[in-house]
Structure 1
Amino acid sequence: MNRLTDHLIIISFDCLSALDFPILSELPHFQNILRTGALIKNVKSIYPSVTYPCHATIVTGNYPKRHGVINNTHLQPGRLSPDWNWYRNCIHGTTLYDEAKKANLTTAALLWPVTAKANIDYNMPEIFANRPWHNQILVSLMSGSPRFQWDLNRKYGHIRKGLNQPELDDFVLESTVDTIKTKKPNLLMVHFTDLDTQRHYHGFSSEEALAAIERHNYRLGRIINALKESGIYENSTVVALGDHSALDENKAINLNVLFHEKGLITSNGKGKIINWKAYCKSCDGSAYIYIKDHYDTSTLHDVRQLVDSLLINPESGIESALTGAQASEKGADGACAFMLEAKKGYFFLEDFEGEFIKTITKEDVNRDHKYTLACHGYSPEKEEYGTIFMAAGKGIQADTLPSIRLIDEGPTFARLLGLDLGQTDGRVIEEILKI
């Protein structure tokens, strides 16, 4: 299969929404992409529409139930900070970067989710120290390309302030520019989270979110300039995309509080779970309910009765419920007993003590970052909840399409590089390609 481009640069602006288009169309570097390239105004995300499953979908072309990354974090009841799906081996099947490596293409990734210990030439994975004895830099070094990361930390580490934004994305930007100039990769994947962070802690349409979009415009411009300075711009394709949108919320649903009251979760009285029969696992705007013992029909019956009662209660904050089989049909984890969808204005947490419905204030958010003022994870079928896709450069035909699905992006990227991801849930968007 012939390659349509020599250098594919995929820039993921986490939480970039289709609703941001009027703002993007006024910013000069996004304008450059829009003027000469392809725009897809509404991209339907996946279920649950959270970052790690979304990014695994982008590189596989498959739904979560197939690629295996069914949530950001693992099911670990009782863990204050559950482990994330950081590692490449969380993904079932092949990926875009695996196929690129097989074709002897040079690959690079900067904070791209689910790439820890991946076979990527120049890899700075998104992973953080999640144990008191872990060191952040060492955890990153050991999970990616040590010499590459060490060099970037030596040059630009002073920019960072831990995981705080916008400093983290500023560090990622300088690392991206450096990687383009020194490595000239055939495939570069970079993940910026500034906008996602601002929306979580300040709200969807906040001044802080708008400022992050403007910073992203600057970052896009720096990346394009780096391609030009490296002499590879004319042979490159630049893609700017989002993974999901977000919705404002101010009420947290703590279903585990009810499970705890009914004896389905037991604790030691000191805030520690010691056993559980049923557990509500948050995906922010949606949630999985898992039954520990699949043969425990009594617990399943109790949970079903509780869910049914909540669905007819307008104050519960729960919009709808799917069985595990129905969740699987939507591409989510069929191993759950139920999958719940929150109403607009609500999201799920995993607290098992306190209030069933907690109203969130700005003070709560400032005090504890498990609380947010906007989040994602909702059904991609919710109104005004799409994300966006734009691409320009070699192999791209100027066009505007009304919509695609997130699962279509991976096969399209593979086609640009002359690769094949095999049988995928998504399709190649041939309408925007110069084949």
Structure 2
Amino acid sequence: MASLCLLFSTLPVLAQQPKQAKYVVLISIDGLRPDFYLDPSWPTPNLQFLKNNGTYAEGVRGVFPTVTYPSHTTIITGAMPARHGIYYNTIFSDSGSTGTWYRDEKYIQTPTLWDAVHQAGMTSACLSWPVSVGAPIDYNVPESWERGTNINPNVAPAGLWEEIQQNATGKLSYNQMTLNNLAIDENLSRMAAYLLKKYKPNFTTVHIVCVDHAQHETGRSGEEVRKALASADHAVSNILEAVEAAGIADSTAIIVTGDHGFVDINTSFNPNVLLARNGLGGKDWKAMFHSSSGSAFLHLKNKGDVKTLAKVRAIMDSLPASVKRLYRIVEKAELDKIGADPHAAFAIAAIEGVSISGSANGELVRAGRGGTHGFFPEFAHIETGFIAYGAGISNGVVVPKMGLEDIAPVIAHLLGLPFTAPDGVLLPGIIKSQGRRENRPVVNGNINDTK
């Protein structure tokens, strides 16, 4: 297969082209790692078929932090978190870490592909994609379940949830839509299959979730990971079969990607314990680390409180070398360069094997287990994957490296959408017969320099 050599810092953007596919199906497998399709020993015959007959990446660089909600929003916008506004999975407010997830599309501060599809008069469908509640999607089953029930109050339009259960899945219980039951991936793929055959939406987004849960529980290589991966691959096959059954295979592009890789964990570091011991945490907190598992971001109650910031730095500087080796400091300038939360004073990025907890109780360092993500996107294990196949997609192209922000331009070009991905580029070779190229505009300077 031909290898695609790319110079990211000077890569141009394609001019608007006629659409090359009438339909695009975007499948995200949460926790997808490149080795899941590069290594034939994994139980992924469908992913490997798509990879062998299309274009794929050897690695996809994530955003910081490498967690689900910021990552999926970057995929759907082509923007980094600093620009699209979904900085973490959960919202950090003036009162501290809220535990409230960014579920509503209203939090996204940049245009999405859903917006562009809607404005172009095309149709869209969404199955459990993060941050999609209230989005301009024609058939929307967002990731928003009422705990302990089978009710998703944000399904739109009215009656769609009942229609799907009647025609695609049968009556669903709450247990069939939870992360610890592989049935959720099967059910989501059946929902997608039904919508593809019934309504033929131009743009379909599907979020497959159990591979992530299995790796959290057992790490990168547990037997539960193999089971979840086989289930995810079968979900992909359900969708591929639906595209065939709908009679749209020749005009459909399939894109499979993920949001982050995974790292095995043996140690947990708890920096809020340090702040609490020094009178900076608690109810009247002055400084707080907002955890994203493989990293944590320091927030000040008073953004201009340089005295507290200096105290935090002095406390961390005084830690023994055995603790300081567990992480590195990501300074404000580096956060700005990579497009992370602009409100954080600095961040700490764990080394491989270490997770960072948000707890302010217990020991500063303790044993860890399982696997996690959220790390700074600077090593291979935290990278995710990308496969493209079908209408408008080149066959036999290998992309050594790309970013999550570079996926939206591919979809926009395939569908002929007048959509600008602020931080992403259309990498040459992915699309068949790419045409005239224009230089990428520099927006907010250093965010684009991360290429």
- TM-score normalised to structure 1 length: 0.89
2:366 pairs with 348, 355, 358, which one? 358
In the TM superposition, what is the alpha-carbon distance from 1:240 to its structure 2 partner?
1.1
- 1:4 paired with 2:20, answer yes
Alignment of 1:72-221 (within 5 A): 72-75=89-92, 82-129=99-146, 137-138=150-151, 140-142=152-154, 144-154=156-166, 155-158=169-172, 161=175, 162-163=177-178, 164-221=180-237
1:307 pairs with 294, 298, 316, which one? 316
In the TM superposition, what is the alpha-carbon distance from 1:27 to its structure 2 partner?
3.5
The question of whether the paired residues in 2 share the 8 Å contact of 1:40 and 1:390 is answered with: yes
In the TM superposition, what is the alpha-carbon distance from 1:423 to its structure 2 partner?
5.2
- 1:31 paired with 2:48, answer yes
What's 1:365 paired with? Answer: none
In the TM superposition, what is the alpha-carbon distance from 1:182 to its structure 2 partner?
1.0
Amino acid at match of 1:263: G
In the TM superposition, what is the alpha-carbon distance from 1:253 to its structure 2 partner?
1.4
The question of whether the paired residues in 1 share the 8 Å contact of 2:44 and 2:229 is answered with: no
For 1:418 and 1:137, the matched residues in 2 are separated by 37
Change (3 A) 1:317 1:207: farther
Change (3 A) 1:315 1:380: same
What's 1:71 paired with? Answer: 88
What's 2:409 paired with? Answer: 411
In the TM superposition, what is the alpha-carbon distance from 1:76 to its structure 2 partner?
5.2
The question of whether the paired residues in 2 share the 8 Å contact of 1:320 and 1:341 is answered with: yes
In the TM superposition, what is the alpha-carbon distance from 1:152 to its structure 2 partner?
2.0
1:334 pairs with 327, 330, 342, which one? 342
Amino acid at match of 2:268: A
Alignment of 1:165-314 (within 5 A): 165-266=181-282, 274-310=283-319, 313-314=321-322
Q: Percent identity?
A: 30
Change (3 A) 1:80 1:319: closer
The question of whether the paired residues in 1 share the 8 Å contact of 2:33 and 2:384 is answered with: yes
Change (3 A) 1:120 1:81: same
The question of whether the paired residues in 2 share the 8 Å contact of 1:44 and 1:403 is answered with: yes
What's 1:47 paired with? Answer: 64
Q: Secondary structure at the match of 2:154?
A: helix
Amino acid at match of 2:315: L
Change (3 A) 1:348 1:157: farther
What's 1:433 paired with? Answer: 431
For 1:416 and 1:171, the matched residues in 2 are separated by 28
For 1:258 and 1:145, the matched residues in 2 are separated by 48
What's 1:374 paired with? Answer: 371
Alignment of 1:377-388 (within 5 A): 377-388=374-385
In the TM superposition, what is the alpha-carbon distance from 1:429 to its structure 2 partner?
2.2
For 1:306 and 1:26, the matched residues in 2 are separated by 48
The question of whether the paired residues in 2 share the 8 Å contact of 1:159 and 1:167 is answered with: no
Amino acid at match of 2:382: Y
In the TM superposition, what is the alpha-carbon distance from 1:165 to its structure 2 partner?
2.5
Q: Secondary structure at the match of 2:215?
A: helix
Change (3 A) 1:141 1:84: same
For 2:237 and 2:52, the matched residues in 1 are separated by 14
For 1:149 and 1:29, the matched residues in 2 are separated by 28
Q: Secondary structure at the match of 1:123?
A: strand
- TM-score normalised to structure 2 length: 0.86
Q: Secondary structure at the match of 1:265?
A: coil
In the TM superposition, what is the alpha-carbon distance from 1:208 to its structure 2 partner?
0.6
Q: Secondary structure at the match of 2:172?
A: helix
Amino acid at match of 1:409: I
For 1:321 and 1:331, the matched residues in 2 are separated by 16
What's 2:30 paired with? Answer: 14
Q: Secondary structure at the match of 1:225?
A: helix
Alpha-carbon displacement from aligned partner over 1:268-316 (angstroms, at most 9, x marks no partner): xxxxxx2211001001101101011012222111111123234x62234
Q: Secondary structure at the match of 1:8?
A: strand
The question of whether the paired residues in 1 share the 8 Å contact of 2:104 and 2:134 is answered with: yes
The question of whether the paired residues in 1 share the 8 Å contact of 2:295 and 2:350 is answered with: yes
Q: Secondary structure at the match of 1:42?
A: strand
5+ residue gaps, structure 1, are 267-273, 362-372
Q: Secondary structure at the match of 1:141?
A: coil
In the TM superposition, what is the alpha-carbon distance from 1:24 to its structure 2 partner?
7.2
Alpha-carbon displacement from aligned partner over 1:302-346 (angstroms, at most 9, x marks no partner): 111123234x62234532112223211111112111110012111
- 1:343 paired with 2:343, answer no
For 1:327 and 1:275, the matched residues in 2 are separated by 27
For 1:243 and 1:194, the matched residues in 2 are separated by 13
In the TM superposition, what is the alpha-carbon distance from 1:80 to its structure 2 partner?
8.7
In the TM superposition, what is the alpha-carbon distance from 1:153 to its structure 2 partner?
3.8
The question of whether the paired residues in 2 share the 8 Å contact of 1:112 and 1:126 is answered with: yes
For 2:419 and 2:171, the matched residues in 1 are separated by 36
Q: Aligned residue pairs: how many?
A: 411
Q: Secondary structure at the match of 2:381?
A: coil
Following superposition, which runs of at least 4 residues in structure 1 exceed 4 angstroms of deviation?
A: 76-81, 134-138
Range that drifts further, 78-87 or 299-308: 78-87
What's 2:387 paired with? Answer: 390
